[in-house]
Chain A
Amino acid sequence: MATRGTVEWLADLGAGGAPAESALIDLRAIVIEGLRHALVTWLPATHPNFAALTEDAAQEALVRVLKNLHTFEDRSLFTTWVHKIAVRVALTELRRQRWRDRSLDEMLDGDDGEASPGFMADPQPGPHQIAEQTNLMAHLMRAMKEELTERQYTAMKAVALMGMPLEEVARRMGTERNALYKLMHDARLRLKRRLERDGLTPAEILASFAER
């Protein structure tokens, strides 16, 4: 494999013909090696689906790299930029596979988590912490129902409480991840302002978790 810096990568990929072909072959190998490390928390390299997933992700990533070569801003190493694209492609597919059998309605049905210590990350808080955090959670759930639009409530519950990926929630809500983030940002602002009106400052909320 040839050793290339950013300048050489851009030159070879932009040259077409044999230089571009050689660069793509090398870049594909680099992407696949990178995904082996990137996806370790999702599935090991020994998983039967690993090879197919990384091959498909690498192929799609290279298509996107070539299509968007003109957008590379030279803020990072070229290979880092390529890895970023490949990671996005691979994780999008893994999330889609992991969540494909889960509907939004199914996620939102049932326990609202109101005043439920079980929703807290620490299963063994002290009694004082249980009371304080349960009160906070009850307050927050009430604020969510009273301050948020239906779409905001859905998004916040699915992403923040049930752990569904933003892009999976966005797909089910007929929108894009970027737009959903903005929707949720507005929701968080509304909740923060509501809590402040109710006399709960951010410092007080964060202080209740300070010992954990």
Chain B
Amino acid sequence: MNLVRKLQDSARKLIRRRANPRMSAGMASADMMLRMVAQTRDVEIACEEAHRLLDEFADRVARGEDAAALLPLVQHHLEMCPDCREEYEALLRILRAPREPV
């Protein structure tokens, strides 16, 4: 019964994310705000710095590297900033898209 409940919860979350693209950025709800407050760090980088490093971060992720470990401040910023998160996910979709034959 517990496993069924967990599967149902996962399905509901997946349906919600697909219905609302911004939910994939994890912002538009009070519980996400609580989590963000709880995970706030004294030192964070802002959007300009994160954007400067975003291409490197995305390339590393696309290559299967542990970008979060290599660029932890970028990783954390993406968890805190819905706009940057959206841009990162869009960039990753480009990098992971199948290549047209030359």
Residues of B within 8 A of A35 (CB): 94
Cβ–Cβ contact B54 & A84, under 8 A = yes
Q: Is the CB of B12 within 8 A of A189?
A: no
Asked whether, in the complex, the Cβ of B33 is within 8 Å of the Cβ of A212, the reply is: no
A50 to B81, CA, bound (A): 26
B1 close to chain A: CB less than 8 A: no
B73 interface residue per 8 A CB criterion: no
Task: With a 10 A CB-CB cut-off, give which of B31, B46, B47, B58 has the most chain A CB atoms.
Answer: B31
Interface contacts (Cβ under 8 Å), in number, total 153
- Determine if A195 is an interface residue (Cβ-Cβ < 8 Å): yes
Quick one: which of B48-102 are within 8 Å of A by CB? 48, 51-56, 58-59, 80-83, 86-87, 89-91, 93-95, 97, 100, 102
Q: When the two chains form their complex, are residues A87 and B94 in contact, meaning their CB atoms are under 8 A apart?
A: yes
Complex Cα spacing A137 to B56, Å: 37
Q: Is the interface of B mostly helix, strand, loop or mixed?
A: helix
3 A-B pairs with the lowest CB-CB distances in the bound complex, closest first: A163-B28, A75-B56, A76-B55
Binding site for B on A (CB under 8 A): 1, 3, 33-35, 37-42, 73, 75-77, 80-81, 83-84, 87-88, 90-91, 95, 113, 116, 119-124, 133, 136-137, 140, 156, 159-163, 165-167, 177-178, 181-182, 185, 188-189, 191-192, 195, 202-203, 205-206, 209, 212
B51 touches A84 (CB 8 A): yes
B26 CB, min distance to chain A CBs, angstroms: 9
With contacts A87-B87, A120-B31, A212-B9 taken as known, whether A195 is within 8 angstroms of B58 at the C-beta atoms is no
In the complex, how many residues of chain B place their beta carbon closer than 8 angstroms to a beta carbon of chain A? Answer: 50
B12 to chain A, nearest CB (A): 7
Give the residue of B30, B39, B56 whose beta carbon is less than 8 angstroms from that of A76: B56
Q: Is there contact, CB below 8 Å, between B102 and A39?
A: no
For A72, the closest partner residue in chain B by CB is B55
B30:A191 contact, CB within 8 angstroms: no
B91 contact from A84, A123, A161, A203, Cβ within 8 A:
A84
Residues of A with C-beta under 8 A to B34: 133, 136-137, 140, 205, 209
User: Could you say which residues of chain A place their CB within 8 Å of the CB of B16?
Assistant: 121
The residue that B9 contacts in the complex, of A37, A122, A177, A195, with Cβ under 8 A, is A122
Question: Are A133 and B44 in touch, CB under 8 angstroms?
Answer: no
Q: Is the CB of B29 within 8 A of A121?
A: yes
Q: List 10 A-B contacts (CB under 8 A).
A: A84-B87, A116-B30, A159-B27, A160-B27, A160-B32, A165-B82, A185-B80, A188-B40, A192-B40, A195-B37
Chain A residues lying within 8 Å of B102, measured Cβ to Cβ, are: 1, 3
